[in-house]
Chain A
Amino acid sequence: MGELRLMKGNEAIAEAAIRYGVDGYFGYPITPQSEVIETLMARKPWEETGMVVVQAESEVAAANMLYGGAACGKKVMTSSSSPGVSLKLEAISYIAGAELPALVVNVVRGGPGLGTIQPAQSDYFQAVKGGGHGDYHLIVFAPNSVQEMADFVEDTYELAIKYRNPAMILSDGIIGQMMEKVELKDFKPRFTDAEIKEKFGSWATTGKTPDRERNIVTSLELQSELQEKHNHKLQAKYQQMRETEVRFESTNTEDAEYLLVAYGSSSRICRKAMELARDKGIKVGLLRPITLFPFPTKQLAELANQVKGMLSVEMSAGQMVEDIRLAVNGKVPVEHFGRYGGIIHSPDEIVNALEKQIIKG
């Protein structure tokens, strides 16, 4: 059993990054995620593992540092909260275009604009549909506990490496700020230069040797035929993710007549709502997508053959609900129940919404 600690989500992600052997973190202050860089600066991982921690002069700078580090085959990450992630998107699109592994953490706060510093899930579209310009996708994981904040550093990065594609941990102000028990993994050494050459030598800019061709990191291709070919390659990659990398958690779906669908913080509130509904004799199940891209489309489509209706519960005006509707394709009613602007649902109002919008609706 690993070391047990009581930590904030933001602290856990910082500690997990050190232990996973991340080479570089680039950050910039913004509420409610500033504890990530603060924890790293206080931990001084450069003395322990050699991990570099840099406070940039802006989110744009931090995201481009990420691009630079990733191009060298280093394990790199950045974190921010909603308005800051918006600023990072141009670089993230470049990283996706250049096919580099990297990790971006978004501890979401309510928007739009300056919005609020309270938690929200209103960046779902931005996270799963690409976000920046061009046809690309991030691998998106949505933790619903401090434990998963820590665990997903490794889980997302392994996939980022496997697909040479940037990944995102889409958290929110609740998970970032709340404290829970975490079991931390043991320290993994950072990759040595030799290991980087061995593992990433086919693409990383590690210094050209006479025995191989130049490695080129770029997202530019002006020749339309080649750019289209490049896009085909990216799309094939995303398709493979859809087929093999979907993660979800289903609870009480075996006999469910109604389904709640929720991710992150909302899924924990839905768990309670599900219990309350079952106490009333309503057979409710819960499907929690763990990966938001790729999305558990197939699983939802199958459940649509079984349940009478689905309710998407999000701290947003209704974003994931669109993907659920695409999956269900009209088979059963799919409704959305959202609180936003920093407000979180109560379990009771979720049960009420289920009864009103789905059962009686």
Chain B
Amino acid sequence: MKDDNTPTAPKRITAKNMTEKEFFYGHKACAGCGGSVAVRLALKVTGEKTFAAFPAGCMAAVGFIYPQMAFRNNAIITTFPGVASMASGISVGAKALGLKGYKTVAFAGDGGTADIGLQALSGMIDRGDDVMYICYDNEAYMNTGIQKSGLTPYGTHTTTTPAGKNFPGSKTQKKNLFEIIAAHDIAYAATASIGYPQDYINKVNKAKQVKGPSFIHVFASCPTGWGSPTHTSIELAKEVVDTGLFFLAEYENGSFKLNKNPKAFKDIPTYLQKQGRFKHLKEEDYKLIEEHRDMKWERMRRNWKHS
């Protein structure tokens, strides 16, 4: 939002210097849950002095059930549309109390961010509230049983976009969430994937330095909702970037930058066929998905900084 809020490059976090401490541990997420990986890694960066806010969703359901409270830091469940607003409240509350060295982090899924939570998020950024917002994107409403969201990609079978003979499942493309957020002239926004954890945690670390709103859109696999083997979660989150169906990028100082610009993309059908939710897709669907990817990358490569 304001240029003086732009983060300076902090010391790089690696597997060697990352804390052994756990802040989200002992929860009852499904095996292979990408969302819980995203939360666990982010909290390792933001640390004990984190006020974490979660709307009603998977992480609320798996992390807050007494006596299995899985958080070692302060954390709270918010209303579904209100996570960004509550984080704003926590952040100004901490300021009023004179608390130093704390970070307020809002974590929400794709539905809670791109659909019902978008208004609150927009207001939070517009006011310049000191909150880091992390959207873990598993591409559907998983907690309520796999319904389509605004970030569900074309061709996904969900319970509200059931695939059929003449119906490819979800017919819309993913909302352009990252650019919607960047359009607020936010100090720092980034996309990431749990398949590239080093990239992700360092983006969290960068966002931590921002005095004001920051935003990270992290791709997070969901074996339960995707019909994929639980051990492939990290692999799929890597492959989605390598196929160009997701991208790693940053927005700071008013400009976009691609962090990873593959010379050749990996095969899209190979990635899709590993997941039950895409099993029904036909040649023409693959073609459509590929065309949309190429169009997007042509535009990103033309307008954004890249290597």
- Chain A residues near B81 (CB-CB < 8 A): 58, 60, 87
Check A41–B115 contact: CB distance below 8 A.
no
Q: B145-163 toward A: CB 8 Å interface, digit per residue (1/0)?
A: 1011010000000011110
Check A38–B79 contact: CB distance below 8 A.
no
Nearest to B141 among chain A residues (CB) is: A29
- B239 → A minimal CB distance (Å): 28
- Chain B residues near A38 (CB-CB < 8 A): 145, 147, 159-160
Check A41–B116 contact: CB distance below 8 A.
no
- Chain A residues near B56 (CB-CB < 8 A): 83, 114
Check B161–A41 contact: CB distance below 8 A.
yes
Q: B129-154 toward A: CB 8 Å interface, digit per residue (1/0)?
A: 00000000000010111011010000
- B166 → A minimal CB distance (Å): 10
Check B60–A114 contact: CB distance below 8 A.
yes
Q: Is B271 an interface residue (CB 8 A)?
A: no
- Chain B residues near A59 (CB-CB < 8 A): 116
* Known contacts A29-B141, A57-B116, A58-B115; A41 and B77 CB within 8 A of each other: no
Q: Is B80 an interface residue (CB 8 A)?
A: yes
Check B145–A55 contact: CB distance below 8 A.
no
A29 touches which of B77, B79, B145, B162 (Cβ 8 Å):
B145
Q: Is A222 an interface residue (CB 8 A)?
A: no
Check A57–B144 contact: CB distance below 8 A.
no
Total B residues in contact with A, Cβ cutoff 8 Å = 23
Check B160–A31 contact: CB distance below 8 A.
no
- Chain B residues near A317 (CB-CB < 8 A): none
- Chain A residues near B145 (CB-CB < 8 A): 29, 31, 34, 38
CA distance A30 to B118 in the complex (A): 18
- A235 → B minimal CB distance (Å): 33
Interface of chain B residues 18 through 54 with chain A (CB within 8 A): none
- Chain A residues near B116 (CB-CB < 8 A): 28, 57-59
CA distance A59 to B80 in the complex (A): 10
A34 touches which of B77, B159, B167 (Cβ 8 Å):
B159
Check A29–B115 contact: CB distance below 8 A.
no
CA distance A58 to B147 in the complex (A): 13
Check B144–A30 contact: CB distance below 8 A.
yes
* Known contacts A31-B145, A87-B81, A114-B77; A37 and B160 CB within 8 A of each other: yes
- B10 → A minimal CB distance (Å): 36
Check A55–B144 contact: CB distance below 8 A.
no
Nearest to A27 among chain B residues (CB) is: B160
Interface of chain A residues 258 through 282 with chain B (CB within 8 A): none
- Chain B residues near A55 (CB-CB < 8 A): 147-148, 160
- A8 → B minimal CB distance (Å): 13
Q: Is A194 an interface residue (CB 8 A)?
A: no
- Chain B residues near A60 (CB-CB < 8 A): 81
Q: Is A226 an interface residue (CB 8 A)?
A: no
- B71 → A minimal CB distance (Å): 16
- Chain A residues near B141 (CB-CB < 8 A): 29
CA distance A42 to B150 in the complex (A): 19
Check B147–A83 contact: CB distance below 8 A.
no
A41 touches which of B118, B143, B159 (Cβ 8 Å):
B159
Interface of chain B residues 99 through 128 with chain A (CB within 8 A): 111, 115-116, 118
- Chain A residues near B150 (CB-CB < 8 A): 57
- Chain A residues near B115 (CB-CB < 8 A): 57-58
Nearest to B55 among chain A residues (CB) is: A114
- A56 → B minimal CB distance (Å): 8
Residues of A within 8 A of B (CB): 28-31, 34, 37-38, 41-42, 44, 55, 57-60, 83, 87, 114
Subset of 24 A-B contacts with CB under 8 Å: A29-B145, A29-B147, A29-B160, A31-B143, A34-B144, A34-B159, A37-B147, A38-B145, A38-B147, A41-B159, A41-B160, A41-B161, A42-B162, A44-B164, A55-B147, A57-B118, A58-B81, A58-B115, A59-B116, A83-B56, A83-B79, A83-B80, A114-B60, A114-B79
Residues of B within 8 A of A (CB): 56, 60, 77, 79-81, 111, 115-116, 118, 141, 143-145, 147-148, 150, 159-162, 164, 167
In addition to A38-B145, A41-B159, A44-B164, 5 A-B residue pairs with Cβ atoms within 8 Å of each other are A57-B116, A57-B118, A57-B150, A58-B115, A60-B81
